[in-house]
Amino acid sequence: MNLTRQHHTVVLRHRKENLKKCSLTGLESRKDMCFFSYPTDILPDLSEYVLLAMNAPSLSKDDGERGLFLIDATWRYAEKMDRFVASHQQVAKRSLPSGWKTAYPRKQEDCPNPEHGLASIEALFAAYHILGWSTEGLLDHYYWKDLFIQKNEKLISFNLFE
């Protein structure tokens, strides 16, 4: 698939991701998103995108002119996918500012910080909010939508990161 500027977001999803549990399920048909499968699909040039990652400079409105790249996998697979992307692409990394809290009930032992290790949809929502992009419809299929909004009400009500 060829990327166009209408694709705000590129998602690299691990082929073993359980789609019944995947928080991004339901977003595949959005015109502003493009999904690729790891390791089978070849990624396009992502030099005009920022990759959401841990331990990187904070995402800000200044990044709003670039696209957003998200790795969607369990924590264990995500690390391997991140190394793969780094070996094949020149993509800037950005992290979400601290303070965002997950509503997703974690069962994984390998999440570095379970309370702040967001589900993919939560990270995507937070990033869209910070970038000043419309979040309309992003959480429509997310089971824990109300709890996520409640836990992050102050961050959502005010953009504290400007």
Tokens of 12: 């690299």
Distance CA 55, CA 7 (A): 25
The whole-number pLDDT of residue 112 equals 55
pLDDT of residue 160: 43
Q: pLDDT below 70 — which residues of the chain? A: 1-7, 18-20, 106-116, 158-162
| Structural domain boundaries in the chain | 9-157
DSSP states along 69-121: EEEES-HHHHHHHHHHHHHH---EEEBPPTT----S----S--SSTTT---HH
Asked if 93 contacts 56 with a C-beta cutoff of 8 angstroms, the reply is yes
Percentage of the chain beyond pLDDT 90 is 57
Given this model, what pLDDT does residue 107 score? Answer: 58
